[in-house]
Structure 1
Amino acid sequence: MSLEKEPADHAGLRHDDDDDNDNDNDNEHKDNSRAAASNDDGDDDPVDSPAVALKTSEILAACTWRDATRLRALAESEGGLLADSLRRAAWPILLGASPPANETKHVDNGDNDDNDDDGLAYTDGSSSTADGDWKDLPRHRDEDQVQLDVNRSFVHYPSDQSEPELHKRKRELSDLIVEVLRRHPYLCYFQGYHDICQVFLLVLEPAARAPLVARLSVLRIRDFMLPSLSATTAQLRLIPDILARADPQLRRHLSSIEPFYALAGTLTMYAHNIERYRDIARLFDVILAREPTFSIYLFAQIVIDRREEIFEIDEPDMLQVILGRVPPELDLDGLIKRAVNLFTNHPPETLRSWHHISSSSVLKTCRDVDASTRQTLEDGHRFFERQVKEIQWQELRMGVRRKMWVYRRPVKYVGAAIMVGFVAFYLRRNPSLVQYIWSLFPGGH
C-alpha cells in the first residue's frame, strides 16, 4: 500500500474504495490534494499546486507514523495543516490523545459539515472521559452561563447554513461544553470558552470532540479555568517584559497601561478576535503545535507590528481600546514567523515576570511540548489543585497585609505581627480556623 493511501484512511480523506485501476488511483490522489488545499469557509487556494500536494503527503505521512515533531514543524510552516480533513488526524496527535485501536480502518464519508457519530473517538487514556453517559452526571454550576454564550455563537462562521442547521450546531456546542464540564466539574467555565469549542466542533468528528477539548482544557488552557483570574493576569504580565526586551521605546510608551488589552485574545486562543474560519483554524494549528506561552508571544508581536499606530495615541484609555482590537486582516504566516523569532530571541526564562509564574501553571508544565503530550487528565487535575492552593495562600497573604496596614498604629503593631505568624503557621493545616480568626477583625469576612 502506498504511503499516501494509508494515511488518507487515517486522516479521513475522501476516496473511492470500489475501483482499483491505476486511473482511479490517480484521480483519488488529485481529489485528496484538492481536499487538502480547500479552505472550509469557501475560499479555495489553487488546488493543483505541487507544493500543496507535497505538503499534503508530508502531513499524511507524519500522521501515519504519529510523528509529532514533524507535525509541529508542518503546522508552523506556511499554510499550516491546510484543511480540516488533515486537522482531524493531526490535532489529536498534537494534543497527545491516545489513538483508537482500529484507526487505520476508518474512512471518512466525505461529509465535512455534518459528521456522523460513527467516527472513532480519540481518548486521553484515562477513564474519566469515557465512563457512563455524561447526561447522567450532576449539573455543573456554570451551565446557565454556558447557554447564554452558546446562544451568541456562530456569528461569523459557518456563513452558509440555514436557521435549523445553526440551531443544530448550537445544540451540539452546548452538549460539547457541558459534557466536558460535567466530566471535570472542578473546571470553571469562562466567557469565551465557547469560542474555542466552536472551532473544535467545526473541525472534528463528533466522537473526537469531547476527549480533545477535555485535554485542551485540563492540560493546555487550565490557567483560565481556575476559580481566580490571578493566573491569567500573571500570564498577561509577560507581555510588557517581552516588549521591554524587543522594543524598549514601545514598552515605555505603553508603561501607563496594564496589559489587560490582551485578555480576550489570549484567553480565547484568538477565536474571539479572528472572524474568518480559515484564519482561526490555521492559527489553531500553530497554537496547538507549540507550548502555551507562544500565544503570549503572538500577542506581543501583534503589538510590535502596530508600533507606528500606537505611537500616534497618548491617551491610556484609548490605547486599551485600540490594543484590545486585533486587526481583522493579518498576514498570519508572517506573524507566526516573527513571533517564533521573538520567542527564540527572548525565551520565557529571560523575562522578569516568568519567575512569578506558578510551577503548576500550564506555561511551565507544558514547557516541554513532547513531555506534555504524555500527561493525563489526572496529571492536569493534580496541577489544578496545587495551583488553587497557591492562589488561596497568596490571596490570604495579601489580605493579611491589608489588615496590617489598617491596624498599623504602634499600639497594635505587636499584636498584628503575632497575627501574621499565626496565620502563616496554620494556613495549610486549618483553613477554617484561619477564617474564624479573620472574622474577629472589624469588617472581616
Structure 2
Amino acid sequence: MFVYSVFLLRIKLLHQLKETGVSSEEIQHHQYYNQVVLDVKRILKCFPPGINENIQADLQVKVTELIIRVLIANEGLHYYQGFHDIAITLLLVLGEEKSYSVLCRLSQSHFQLFMGPDMEPTMEILNLVYALVKNENRDLYNYLIRSELGTIFCLPWAITWFGHVLNDYETVVRLFDVFMFSHPWISMYLSNVVVLHRASDIFLTPCKMPLLHQMLSNVPDNLPFDSLITETEKLMRTYPPDVMETVVREMHAENIRKIKEEDEERKRRMEQRKAALQGKHTKAAIERWTPWSGFRNLRSQTAKVVALSVSVATFSFIYNYVRPNIEIF
C-alpha cells in the first residue's frame, strides 16, 4: 500500500512538472538530484510530530522537486547540504507554489552566500561570530581561541537557520519568521548571541576543541529564543553588518595567513627530520663498510678522508697489480 501510494504521488508530481514547464527528465538528470534525494531521506527530524508515513513520503518527493526547481531557475547557484532543511520548513508552512516563490527569492538574497561553487565565502562570514564575541566578551573570545575550536560548530546554525539543530518545530518556524524579513546575516548574529548566552557553560567545559565542539553543537530547545532575538536586534544596531564586513574580511585573511605559516613550519620540520634521518643512515652505512675498526675512532674529518683514500688506493693496487700474478689452483 505504501509503495503504491508513493507511485501515485510520483505520477501526480510528473503532471505538475509538465504544468510548470520542468520535465521529469530535467529533474532527474540534474547534477544535484541524487545528492538531494539522499539528504531528503534523512529529513524526518524536520517533520512536525504526528505526520504519518504516507504524508512523509509525499513531502519527501515534493521537497526534492522543490529544491531542483529552484536550482534550475537559478543556474548560477549550487546546492549545499542543509538547504533541504530550509526547503522542507517552507514547504510545510507555505505549500508548494508559495514555497517555490519564496525559496527562489531567499536563494538570491539570504542563501546566495552559501550557494557558491565552494565553501570559502561561507567560512569567511562565519568569522563574524568570533568578531562579535571579541567585542562583547574578551575573556570568552580568548577561551575559544585557546581551544582552537574554529567555526564549524555554528555552520549548521547559519546555513539551516537552526532548522537542523532544533527539535521543536514551533521554535524553528518562529525563527524563520524573523530571519525572512531581516538582514541576510541575522543567523550569524543570533549564533553569536547563543554563544554569549552559554558563556557560563562554555567556561565550565574543559578548554579542549572536541569537548567544546560537542557541547556547543547540541543546542538546547529550551533556550529563551524570544529574548535572544531581542538581543540579536540590539547587537545588529550596535555592530551593523556594513561595519563588520571589513572586520570579518580582515579576520579571515589573518586566519588564512596563520594557516599558511603553520603549514610552512610543519613542512620545514618534516624536512629537518628527513635530513636528520638520512644523515643517520649515511653514517651507519659508512661505519658498516669501514675497512678497519680504527677508522671509526678518528675524530678529524680530514683524517677520515685521508684514511679512506689510502684504503681505496691499497685495494686498487692489489686488484690491478698483485691479483694477476697470483696462481689459482
Q: Tell me which interval the TM-score lies in, with the shorter structure as reference length.
A: 0.5 to 0.7
1:175 corresponds to 2:175: no
The letter of the residue matching 1:299 is S
Query: Larger relative CO (CA 8 A, sep 6+): 1 or 2?
Result: 1
Q: Using a 3 Å threshold, how does the CA distance of structure 1 residues 348 and 131 change in structure 2: closer, same or farther?
A: same
Kindly tell me the number of residue pairs found equivalent between the two proteins: 238
Picking from 134, 151, 173, the partner of 1:259 is 151
Identical pairs, percent: 27
- Greater shift in the superposed pair: 222-231 or 210-219: 210-219
Q: Secondary structure at the match of 1:133?
A: coil
The letter of the residue matching 2:153 is Y
8 A contact 1:135–1:179 mirrored in 2: no
Picking from 187, 198, 217, the partner of 1:324 is 217
Picking from 199, 208, 225, the partner of 1:307 is 199
**In structure 2, what is the equivalent of residue 283 of structure 1?**
175
**In structure 2, what is the equivalent of residue 24 of structure 1?**
none
Tell me the CA shift for residue 356 of structure 1.
Answer: 5.0
The letter of the residue matching 2:185 is T
Give per-residue Cα distances to partners, 1:189-237, cap 9 Å, x unaligned: 1111111001000011322121211111122101111111000001101
Picking from 37, 43, 50, the partner of 1:147 is 37
Normalized against structure 1, the TM-score is what?
Answer: 0.49
Give per-residue Cα distances to partners, 1:265-307, cap 9 Å, x unaligned: 1011111012121111110011111101111110000000001
1:337 corresponds to 2:219: no
Q: Secondary structure at the match of 1:255?
A: helix
Q: How far apart, in 2, do the equivalents of 1:253 and 1:241 lie?
A: 14
Provide the aligned C-alpha RMSD in A. Answer: 2.8
Give per-residue Cα distances to partners, 1:356-399, cap 9 Å, x unaligned: 599xxxxxxxxxxxxxxxxxxxxxxxxxxxxxxxxxxxx9xx99
Name structure 1 gaps, 5 residues minimum. 1-116, 118-129, 359-394, 407-445
- Greater shift in the superposed pair: 175-184 or 238-247: 175-184
Q: How far apart, in 2, do the equivalents of 1:357 and 1:173 lie?
A: 37
Give per-residue Cα distances to partners, 1:85-143, cap 9 Å, x unaligned: xxxxxxxxxxxxxxxxxxxxxxxxxxxxxxxx9xxxxxxxxxxxx97235364732111
Q: How far apart, in 2, do the equivalents of 1:349 and 1:323 lie?
A: 28
**In structure 1, what is the equivalent of residue 327 of structure 2?**
none
8 A contact 1:149–1:194 mirrored in 2: yes
Give per-residue Cα distances to partners, 1:138-180, cap 9 Å, x unaligned: 7321111100011111325222122111111111111111111
Normalized against structure 2, the TM-score is what?
Answer: 0.66
The letter of the residue matching 1:312 is L
| Mapping of residues 103-122 of structure 1, within 5 Å | none
Picking from 120, 134, 157, the partner of 2:47 is 157
Give per-residue Cα distances to partners, 1:49-91, cap 9 Å, x unaligned: xxxxxxxxxxxxxxxxxxxxxxxxxxxxxxxxxxxxxxxxxxx
Q: How far apart, in 2, do the equivalents of 1:158 and 1:355 lie?
A: 39
**In structure 1, what is the equivalent of residue 248 of structure 2?**
354
Q: How far apart, in 1, do the equivalents of 2:132 and 2:210 lie?
A: 22
8 A contact 1:310–1:319 mirrored in 2: yes
Q: Secondary structure at the match of 1:189?
A: coil
**In structure 2, what is the equivalent of residue 33 of structure 1?**
none
| Mapping of residues 14-413 of structure 1, within 5 Å | 132-135=21-24, 137=26, 139-256=29-146, 257-313=149-205, 314-351=207-244, 353-355=247-249
8 A contact 1:348–1:354 mirrored in 2: no
Q: How far apart, in 2, do the equivalents of 1:131 and 1:170 lie?
A: 19
8 A contact 2:85–2:163 mirrored in 1: yes
Tell me the CA shift for residue 355 of structure 1.
Answer: 4.3
Q: How far apart, in 2, do the equivalents of 1:239 and 1:275 lie?
A: 23
The letter of the residue matching 2:212 is L
8 A contact 2:110–2:185 mirrored in 1: no
Q: Secondary structure at the match of 1:258?
A: coil
Identify the structure with the greater helix proportion.
2
Larger radius of gyration: 2
Q: How far apart, in 1, do the equivalents of 2:114 and 2:120 lie?
A: 9
| Mapping of residues 4-19 of structure 1, within 5 Å | none
8 A contact 2:127–2:251 mirrored in 1: no
Q: How far apart, in 2, do the equivalents of 1:136 and 1:144 lie?
A: 13
Q: How far apart, in 2, do the equivalents of 1:214 and 1:349 lie?
A: 24
Q: Secondary structure at the match of 1:220?
A: coil
The letter of the residue matching 1:331 is P
Q: Using a 3 Å threshold, how does the CA distance of structure 1 residues 269 and 157 change in structure 2: closer, same or farther?
A: same
